């Protein structure tokens, strides 16, 4: 059996799809370690991995989370994390490193240790037809010009990376699109835009959805059909008035309306109709299995889970890659999209009514549901990783040799 090391960014959207893969690899007898932030320790340990915590506590997200600040923050974080991460990995002696497509310290560590690496894409796969948010562009250059301190910090961090580590394979700018000989993409070929332009190194394994702990406090047995569900995810602080608009607009159309408020206090929404249930977090796959409609920010994981359940969507993008995801949902006929600034009295209700009563939306979502299931999910991802380790000949009897250990 192999030892497989996962390295990731401390974000629910990046970590959650990897957890069923980790659990499946452990079930098959592999040893799995996982570098993470303290906030994710319990759920990763529950999946069966040995947790290696990043020093310094949870890694804060850039504020604001723009492509420029993200690139700068990733480079700066990599400089600080690589020494302890490499020390851990030299002790673990992995046969394979699996890192997020924006986790550059995972990619650099694999180069340093001479260990095969696979990249984990919880977003779309990116190329010239599907541009990464951190790609080189006039927009990125204009944004960089407005933040000279971020640019200076980035250049210092990149110099440190090249001076101290083997960072030759990193993209110059596009740190949100770090590719490897194996790239796992957690959606189906049918949902991926421009899929014909990606080579065989990209494996579209579909949504990675495994069993999650039951929430005994969630009143699943009291939900009344049709169940309408709204959530703007966990990364962006949702405007209470926007969430309130969703609740009041959907209430006349639903038996039970569920609003997940994330970082926002449910009490901030004020008094709501009796059939509205507000919670910071809900068991999303369980809710989607009952839902007739999902109002979502368009986060890739949420959309993948909705398509896995065959639920039409009203997408209200909040940032990052969400406008791109929203366009794809609309393009394939599985939903509609509206900008936040266009959410006015009656607009959400009118669009929701269309989605509930036009059978074309549910038919398109049902077609994508089949594709999402047939892609294979976490079991297919585990298969791909096992084949990759075997093909690379990386089940070794001795520790990997790297240029630092030779000098010690």
Strand 313-315 to strand 335-337: parallel, antiparallel, or no bridges (unpaired)? parallel
Confidence of residue 343 (pLDDT cuts 50, 70, 90): confident
Confidence of residue 235 (pLDDT cuts 50, 70, 90): low
Sign, Cα dihedral of 157, 169, 194, 142: positive
Q: Which residues contact 358 (CB under 8 A, 6 or more apart)?
A: none
pLDDT of res. 60: 64
Mean pLDDT of 325-339: 97
pLDDT of res. 401: 46
Confidence of residue 155 (pLDDT cuts 50, 70, 90): very high
Confidence of residue 398 (pLDDT cuts 50, 70, 90): very low
Using CA atoms, how far residue 203 sits from 41, 296, 369, 396, in Å, is 28, 26, 18, 25
Strand partners, 184: 120, 203
Flag whether pLDDT at 119 surpasses 80.
yes
Rounded to the nearest integer, the mean pLDDT of the chain is: 90
Strand 96-100 to strand 3-7: parallel, antiparallel, or no bridges (unpaired)? parallel
Q: What CA–CA distance (Å, rounded) separates 241 from 247?
A: 10
pLDDT in tens, 81-91: 999 999 999 99
Q: What CA–CA distance (Å, rounded) separates 82 from 90?
A: 12
What's the token pair of residue 88?
């851990």
Domains and CATH numbers, the chain: 3-206+375-407 (3.40.50.2000), 220-372 (3.40.50.2000)
pLDDT of res. 71: 87
pLDDT in tens, 120-154: 999 999 998 998 888 877 677 787 788 888 889 98
pLDDT of res. 2: 95
pLDDT in tens, 276-311: 999 999 999 999 999 999 999 999 999 999 999 999
């Amino acid at each position: 059996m192999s030892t497989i090391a996962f390295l990731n960014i401390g974000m629910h959207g990046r970590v959650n799809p990897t957890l069923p893969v980790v659990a499946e690899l452990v079930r098959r007898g592999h040893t799995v370690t996982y570098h993470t932030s303290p906030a994710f320790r319990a759920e990763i340990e529950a999946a069966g991995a040995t947790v290696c915590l990043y020093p310094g506590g949870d890694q804060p997200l850039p504020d604001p989370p723009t492509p420029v600040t993200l690139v700068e923050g990733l480079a700066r974080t990599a400089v600080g994390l690589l020494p302890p991460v490499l020390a851990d990995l030299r002790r673990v002696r992995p046969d394979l490193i699996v890192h997020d497509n924006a986790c550059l310290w995972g990619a650099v560590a694999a180069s340093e240790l001479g260990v095969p690496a696979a990249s984990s894409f919880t977003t779309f796969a990116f190329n010239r037809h599907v541009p990464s948010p951190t790609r080189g562009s006039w927009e990125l250059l204009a944004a960089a010009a407005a933040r000279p301190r971020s640019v200076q910090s980035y250049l210092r961090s990149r110099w440190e990376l090249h001076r101290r580590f083997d960072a030759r394979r990193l993209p110059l700018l596009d740190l949100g699109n770090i590719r490897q000989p194996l790239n796992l993409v957690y959606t189906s070929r049918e949902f991926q835009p421009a899929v014909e332009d990606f080579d065989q190194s990209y494996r579209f394994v579909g949504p990675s959805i495994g069993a999650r702990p039951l929430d005994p406090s969630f009143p699943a047995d009291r939900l009344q059909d049709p169940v309408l569900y709204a959530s703007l995810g966990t990364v962006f602080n949702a405007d209470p008035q926007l969430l309130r608009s969703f609740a009041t607009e959907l209430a006349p159309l639903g038996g039970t309306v569920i609003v997940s408020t994330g970082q926002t206090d449910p009490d901030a929404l004020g008094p709501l109709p009796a059939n509205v249930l507000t919670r910071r977090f809900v068991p999303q796959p369980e809710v989607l299995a009952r839902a007739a409609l999902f109002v979502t920010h368009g986060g890739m994981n949420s959309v993948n889970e909705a398509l896995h359940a065959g639920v039409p969507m009203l997408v209200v993008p909040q940032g990052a890659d969400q406008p791109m995801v929203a366009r794809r949902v609309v393009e394939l006929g599985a939903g509609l999209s509206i900008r936040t600034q266009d959410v006015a009295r009656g607009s959400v209700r009118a669009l929701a009514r269309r989605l509930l009563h036009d059978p074309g939306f549910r038919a398109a979502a049902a077609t994508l549901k089949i594709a999402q299931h047939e892609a294979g999910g976490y079991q297919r991802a585990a298969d791909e990783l096992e084949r990759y380790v075997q093909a690379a000949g990386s089940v070794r009897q001795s520790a990997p040799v790297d240029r630092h250990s030779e000098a010690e």
